[in-house]
Amino acid sequence: MKKAFIIVIIVLLIVFGGIFGFKIFVNEKISEAMAHMPKPVMTVSATAAKTELWHPRLQAIASLAAVQGVEITPQIAGNVTAIHFHSGHHVQAGTVLVQIDDSNQLAQLASDEAQLRLAQINLHRTHELIATKAASQSQLDSAVATYQSSVATLKNIRATLNKLAIRAPFSGYLGIRQVNIGQYLTPGTKIVDLQSWDPLHANFTLPQSKLRDIHVGTRVQVETNARPGQIFDGKVTALGASVNSATRQIAVQATIANPQGVLRPGLFGEITVIRNIEEKVLTVPVSALSYNTFGNYVYVVKKVTQDGKTVEVAHQQVIKSGKERNGQVNIVSGLKAGDMVVTAGQVKLVDGSLVKISNEKDA
């Protein structure tokens, strides 16, 4: 029994040893074959890093405000007898918006006009009597005073009537109506908003250290998430007279063109101040950048000689990037003008990959 057990063990050792030995042999042959196989060539898109002229920019958060905006309110109390506008419509300056009951004033107007006519007749008659010395100078003075008083009284009642017909003080867009026919209004009661939309003011602040970089006439651009993808141009039109002693910020006001009326007072957005100087910067497309825990990098394509042939090889290059603009990113360090960087297809690359540059869309 002991001898048979030993024989079985020996047979098993021979069998398993053969199996393991065969696997080792096969792996060695595969490794040898792989070592002699040519490296795969990856097709990528690439472009050269280039030098551009950029205007240095300052950025801040701006609030839009109407150049002219007001809440329409009555100056004299009374009941609303007519409403001549619709919410959201555009009105011209001088358009009557609301009529407040003026029946008493109209009656008084008729009385005052009659008194003025009488005063005119008496004054004319007195002048005739003075010519014939049938009236005294005091009578003439009294007639003149009565006439002038009647004129002033008539002007007063007409001014009151004008205030009871509430008009748009300037051209603009109306908000939502806040009053109804028959409603009794007191001075200060809100009737409707009136805002002009073109142009608009953009109000923002900048640190005192940027004061030398901005002046009246400096170009600005505004973007807001209310109109994504659109840029609105304007210029700085005013600077604050002093720096805020608490925040050390200076107030700045720009005027923004809004010819299509797509912006509204009260919106906020990002404003970019474009300085009137140019700087040379090195740029590559944003799509060329890759990221890992060690920072940003790009793949730089270089031509090298391997086995007597010229091939293109992609090497990882760590870079320091700056600001982005119009799909380009400023490269602060790590590249030089003319370096070919991969812009598409880098996900299939490793450092040292052989590549073929093809700038077709399906690369």
Q: Which domains does the chain have, with CATH numbers?
A: 41-54+280-357 (2.40.420.20), 58-67+197-277 (2.40.30.170), 74-190 (1.10.287.470)
Residue with tokens 């925040």: 247
pLDDT value, residue 11: 65
Say what the pTM is: 0.62
pLDDT value, residue 136: 82
Residue-wise pLDDT tens for the chain (363 aa)? 666 667 767 766 676 666 766 677 666 656 655 555 556 788 888 888 888 888 777 889 999 999 999 999 999 999 999 999 999 999 999 999 999 999 999 999 999 999 999 999 988 888 888 888 777 888 888 889 999 999 999 999 999 999 999 999 999 999 999 999 999 999 999 999 999 998 999 999 999 988 888 889 999 999 999 888 889 999 999 999 999 999 999 999 999 999 888 999 999 999 999 877 777 888 989 888 888 777 788 889 888 887 778 888 888 888 888 888 778 888 888 888 888 999 888 888 888 888 888 875 444
CA within 13 Å, CB half, 334? 21
pLDDT at 51: 87
Nearest C-alpha neighbor of 177 from the set 100, 84, 64: 84
pLDDT at 362: 41
Closest CA to 223 of 55, 56, 89, 57: 57
Q: At which residue do the structure tokens 């063990």 appear? A: 9
Instruction: Tell me the two tokens of residue 7.
Output: 């024989």
Q: How far apart are CA 315 and CA 301, in angstroms?
A: 6
Distance between CA atoms of 67 and 74, rounded to whole angstroms? 22
Question: Which pLDDT belongs to residue 290?
Answer: 87
pLDDT computed for residue 33 by the predictor: 52
Helix, strand, or coil (residue 184): strand
User: Is the link from the previous residue into 40 a cis peptide, with omega within 30 of 0?
Assistant: no
- Best CA proximity match to 329, nearest among 281, 278, 274, 284: 284
Residue (of 190, 188, 192, 181) closest to 100 by Cα position: 181
> For residue 177, what pLDDT is reported?
94
* Dihedral of the alpha carbons of 330, 331, 335, 336, in degrees to the nearest 10: 40
Q: What is the pLDDT of residue 86?
A: 94
103-131 vs 137-164: helix axis angle to the nearest 10?
160
| CA 161 – CA 163 distance, rounded (Å) | 5
- List C-alpha distances in Å: 333 to 143, 279, 320, 325: 94, 16, 5, 17
Give the containing element (helix H, strand E) for 61. strand 57-66
